[in-house]
Structure 1
Amino acid sequence: MSVVLILHGLLVLAFTVRILLRDDLSPPGRLAWFVVLNLLPYFGSIIYFLFGEIDIGNKANQRHAEIFTEIKTKAAHLMGKPQSTDSLIKRVYRPAFQYASSINGFYTLGGNSAHLMPDSDTTLTRMIDDIDAATEHVHVLYYIWLNDCTGTELAEALIRAARRGVICRAMADGLGSRAFIKSSTWQRMQDAGVEVAVALPFYNVLRVILASRFDLRNHRKITVIDGRITYCGSQNSADPEFLIKEKYGPWIDIMLRFEGPVVAQNQLLFISDWMQATGQSLDAIALPKQSVEPLAEGFPAQVMGVGPTERRGATPHLFATLFACAEHSLILTTPYFVPDATVLEALCAAAYRGVKVTLIYPRKNDSWIVAAASRSYYHKLLDAGCLIYEHREGLLHAKTLTVDGQVSLIGSSNLDLRSFDLNYENNIVLQDSSITAAIEARQQQYLEGSEPVLLSEVLAWRYYRRVWNNVIATIGPVL
């Protein structure tokens, strides 16, 4: 018995010391781990070993640094210039664009255009048409690629393009698209000449666990055609019905089709992932010698990519900076809302200083953990004057932010700890009143299908529900 107690004490002590030695862990995160390790020491130790540290491995970190050094050396003409922000962006919004530039080195580029896709079906049709018209190359990357109508049609378009001599490169996340990667469709793509790669492969589970956290995922959704067209938004290569989670469907997504110089930045982000997954050098991928000609009436925009090999806290810092720039209004839609203190306080601060803050979440969430944690913040947000709405039908999967009818951010990032720390994400931030108005009109459609959440309702929640929500939020950094 004494030996068991000694081993028990050493186990808890070892993990406790490790947690105390970590400078990258927030106080709430450190506290959450202390709670779990002391209440469930053996289970907690296993969970910490598997999920406790956000580390993709030294080799991957070194490779990432090498890739971006090569990109910045050989493709600087496609990344933009630091001084462009001052001439293209209104003074009040410059801090957000300047902060975004500090993440990957992508600077604001003028002369872009975008079109908001009406729905998921139209997005697929337009994307297939663009791929069928491609003459040089097509690059696609998806977190979830299903062997359904959407996934198969996209694969068939790539097969057609490859057979007529277009260079096609396709990537899918090793976990999110695991069934598709094993499918005959994936094999047919390779047989037709499509170059394929798996982002964060999951083939050798033991090696993945020992080298890094196995739940680090590539959550990006990138499509680039001929370096002239790119799609950015929340839609995976999957039908809206999303049959693997059918009871939560339909998935309600949003996508923008971009043209202009910003396409090259999304191309470079894809290439960085491709180089990481395949080991290829930039020389093996033909890059344009000059950027796309800016459109005369185009707007300024820039790409930002985040992930476990980038600076910690980049996403919450960017969102907090955008919130701080707002003068009149900000509207946010996200399916997963588990903010850190930076984002939560920035939202409340905006509301307190008179900004109309509107937050739209799905009423029915495919993650019970996220649903409970999200609602633990309702009281604080409503107290500050934020307006909260829950969308009734399907799962509102669109990730959008509009500020003052002038600035928009769209992409793959959710407002949760997974997007902040664990996932590779891609977004585009832009300044344009017409595109922002189009996104706001879509947000208004979401509002029309939503119910407001009132402070009186939240205060009337039964005690056990409030306790449950707060417990889940407290151990959120662990989950």
Structure 2
Amino acid sequence: MLELFQNNIWYVLIVINYLLAISAVTTLLFRNINPTKTLSYIIVLVFFPFFGLLVYYLFGQEYRKSKIFNRKNILNQSIVKKLNASLEQTKSQLDALEDDFLEDKIKLVKLLQKSDKAPLTKCNTVDILLNGETKFDRLLEDLKAAKHHIHIEYYIVRDDKIGSKVLNLLCEKALSGVKVRLSIDDVGSSITRKMKTKLKESGVEFYSFMPVLFPKFTGRMNYRNHRKIVIIDGAVGYIGGINISDAYVNYPESEDYWRDTHLRLEGEAIVTLQVQFLINWNFVSDSDVDISEDFFPNKPCKDEIAVQIAASGPDTDWANIMEVIFSAITSADDYIYLTTPYFIPNPQIITALQVASKSGIDVRLLIPDKSDSWTAKHATNAYLDSLFDAGIKVYRYQKGFIHAKTLVVDDVFSTIGTSNMDYRSFNINFEINAVVYNKKVSKELKAIFLKDLESAQVMNPEAWIKRPKSEKIKESICKLWAPLL
């Protein structure tokens, strides 16, 4: 019997593989997810034995609404419920705001308030920070001034030149009595054992998000925390695309120019930002946070800029960021200016952009000329024909790598955050965006977009059609994998 098994071990393994594959396919069909994504997994499972199973079990597990990501412990605490209730706008208040400055974008506010319990905050100061060198100058200054607590949650933290400067400062603040909580993604971040020891010995509470065994070999492992936020004393907040790494700072000796965008916030929006941090902290620390009123100080209103904080991930019932972007595109009357390093959209976003452009709206997309991901670049290229067919203008940034994730619509709506325009950001990763309803901020972001176009080259649809067939083959293959990227 043993000899028979040994002589036929390959056939036995194949049978086991396809039994597991059938089980996986059945699970996929019952989950009733996006048909394109389902088909992609089925193709991989059927035509790539063993490898297909590995891909499915690494990337195909669905944890949205699962109990492992529990928001209720934080959202149900009395202080949080009271704060959210005080910020939430009534229907009559929203109707008044529509007449005041929100125009037809009021439905975006209602969407987030209903699906994400994200209240519209009206008392905020918003500063747009261009590139890492500007962001870190302001951030270090604010960190030095911290008196009560520092909360940091990042996808990438490295203890290189800028990272060490930030981490050493956190140690100093913790030793001085400031409560410092640091959450990093285990796949995206890389901190030496020496620095980790220093953080803990200094009193910094430090946790990795969903640790993996071999982070260097799991760069696309599912359900990563892609957020980049800082809250200082419950009064100052940072949110955007810039991670804590030298790659994001344009030092004089840097070989590559990195163009990115971040926000510095003061005001009521920090309440929502703080709550989102605490939800994640409750998960990574596996303990209930003792929330005090010191986390939510009552500060005087400096500027009246309306902001909502949109968060999405496996812990939310809806794909909140994708929905608000879709709704913003479909509500546009004049223009849509979109910047993203990775453009691998779902059919809803593609259709919304096409319809907007065909309706006479000025739709422009700015993407990198050189990507940091071979598969993402070719997957992006696979979608460009559908944009050109609808008259959408596509620009490739030439000066360096553009990593900004921004959208501005009609001088009224803008969003800056961590979400890329791709399947992973919309459906898998933990993401967070600031949604701003303000003409001054929108016009500033519009001016930045037009300035970036000076360093970009508009693509020629006629020339693009004539690209080599080898490129089209690469694009087709990568597009097939797009739902898995």
TM-score, normalisation: structure 1: 0.90
Quote the residue 2:19 is aligned against: 10
Cα deviation 1:412-441 (Å, max 9, x = unaligned): 000011111221111110111111122122
> Could you say if the C-alpha distance between residues 344 and 82 of structure 1 is closer, same or farther in structure 2, counting changes exceeding 3 Å?
farther
Q: Distance in 2 between matches of 1:37 and 1:270?
A: 37
> Could you say if the C-alpha distance between residues 403 and 52 of structure 1 is closer, same or farther in structure 2, counting changes exceeding 3 Å?
same
Quote the residue 2:147 is aligned against: 135
Q: Which one of the candidate residues 341, 355, 380 is aligned to 1:349? A: 355
Alignment map for 1:110-149 (pairs within 5 Å): 110-149=122-161
Quote the residue 1:369 is aligned against: 375
Question: Higher mean Cα deviation, 462-471 or 347-356?
Answer: 462-471
Quote the residue 2:45 is aligned against: 37
Please say if 1:168 is aligned against 2:185.
no
Q: Which one of the candidate residues 255, 267, 270 is aligned to 1:263? A: 270
Question: Higher mean Cα deviation, 52-61 or 190-199?
Answer: 52-61
The residue identity in structure 1 corresponding to 2:232 is I
Deviation at residue 469 of structure 1 after TM alignment: 0.7
Q: Which one of the candidate residues 205, 212, 218 is aligned to 1:202? A: 212
Please say if 1:184 is aligned against 2:190.
no
Quote the residue 1:69 is aligned against: 76
Please say if 1:449 is aligned against 2:449.
no
- Classify the secondary structure of the residue corresponding to 1:283: coil
> Could you say if the C-alpha distance between residues 361 and 247 of structure 1 is closer, same or farther in structure 2, counting changes exceeding 3 Å?
farther
Q: Distance in 1 between matches of 2:307 and 2:270?
A: 10
Deviation at residue 13 of structure 1 after TM alignment: 3.0
Q: Distance in 2 between matches of 1:5 and 1:257?
A: 55
Tell whether the 8 Å contact from 2:64 to 2:313 is kept in structure 1 after alignment: no
Q: Distance in 2 between matches of 1:82 and 1:376?
A: 44
Quote the residue 2:279 is aligned against: 272
Tell whether the 8 Å contact from 1:132 to 1:160 is kept in structure 2 after alignment: no
Tell whether the 8 Å contact from 1:78 to 1:265 is kept in structure 2 after alignment: no
Deviation at residue 230 of structure 1 after TM alignment: 0.9
Tell whether the 8 Å contact from 1:264 to 1:291 is kept in structure 2 after alignment: no
Quote the residue 1:476 is aligned against: 482
> Could you say if the C-alpha distance between residues 374 and 432 of structure 1 is closer, same or farther in structure 2, counting changes exceeding 3 Å?
same
Question: Higher mean Cα deviation, 420-429 or 192-201?
Answer: 192-201
> Could you say if the C-alpha distance between residues 126 and 457 of structure 1 is closer, same or farther in structure 2, counting changes exceeding 3 Å?
same
Quote the residue 1:48 is aligned against: 56
Deviation at residue 349 of structure 1 after TM alignment: 1.1
Deviation at residue 53 of structure 1 after TM alignment: 2.1
Question: Higher mean Cα deviation, 299-308 or 279-288?
Answer: 279-288
Q: Which one of the candidate residues 379, 387, 404 is aligned to 2:385? A: 379
Quote the residue 2:3 is aligned against: none
Q: Distance in 2 between matches of 1:162 and 1:467?
A: 54
Alignment map for 1:85-100 (pairs within 5 Å): 85-89=94-98, 90-100=102-112
Deviation at residue 94 of structure 1 after TM alignment: 1.1
Q: Distance in 1 between matches of 2:136 and 2:85?
A: 31
Question: Higher mean Cα deviation, 92-101 or 404-413?
Answer: 92-101
| Paired residue total | 466
Q: Distance in 1 between matches of 2:376 and 2:94?
A: 36
- Classify the secondary structure of the residue corresponding to 2:50: helix
Q: Distance in 2 between matches of 1:123 and 1:9?
A: 51
The residue identity in structure 1 corresponding to 2:223 is L
Q: Distance in 1 between matches of 2:445 and 2:13?
A: 60
> Could you say if the C-alpha distance between residues 9 and 254 of structure 1 is closer, same or farther in structure 2, counting changes exceeding 3 Å?
closer
- Classify the secondary structure of the residue corresponding to 1:477: helix
Deviation at residue 11 of structure 1 after TM alignment: 4.1
In structure 2, stretches of 5+ residues that fail to align are: 1-7
Tell whether the 8 Å contact from 2:184 to 2:208 is kept in structure 1 after alignment: yes
Deviation at residue 4 of structure 1 after TM alignment: 6.6
> Could you say if the C-alpha distance between residues 287 and 342 of structure 1 is closer, same or farther in structure 2, counting changes exceeding 3 Å?
farther
Q: Distance in 2 between matches of 1:168 and 1:349?
A: 47
Please say if 1:396 is aligned against 2:402.
yes
Please say if 1:237 is aligned against 2:226.
no
The residue identity in structure 1 corresponding to 2:299 is V
The residue identity in structure 1 corresponding to 2:452 is Y
Question: Higher mean Cα deviation, 216-225 or 189-198?
Answer: 189-198
Deviation at residue 405 of structure 1 after TM alignment: 1.5
The residue identity in structure 1 corresponding to 2:145 is A
> Could you say if the C-alpha distance between residues 78 and 173 of structure 1 is closer, same or farther in structure 2, counting changes exceeding 3 Å?
farther
Quote the residue 2:310 is aligned against: 304
Tell whether the 8 Å contact from 2:65 to 2:317 is kept in structure 1 after alignment: no
> Could you say if the C-alpha distance between residues 191 and 427 of structure 1 is closer, same or farther in structure 2, counting changes exceeding 3 Å?
same
Q: Distance in 1 between matches of 2:395 and 2:473?
A: 22
Q: Distance in 2 between matches of 1:240 and 1:4?
A: 45
| Percent of residue pairs identical | 27
Q: Which one of the candidate residues 317, 322, 331 is aligned to 2:323? A: 317
Q: Distance in 2 between matches of 1:76 and 1:359?
A: 35
- Classify the secondary structure of the residue corresponding to 2:152: strand
Q: Which one of the candidate residues 250, 254, 259 is aligned to 2:257? A: 250
Please say if 1:102 is aligned against 2:114.
yes
Please say if 1:418 is aligned against 2:430.
no
Q: Which one of the candidate residues 404, 429, 434 is aligned to 2:440? A: 434
Tell whether the 8 Å contact from 1:78 to 1:290 is kept in structure 2 after alignment: no
Deviation at residue 203 of structure 1 after TM alignment: 5.2
TM-score, normalisation: structure 2: 0.89
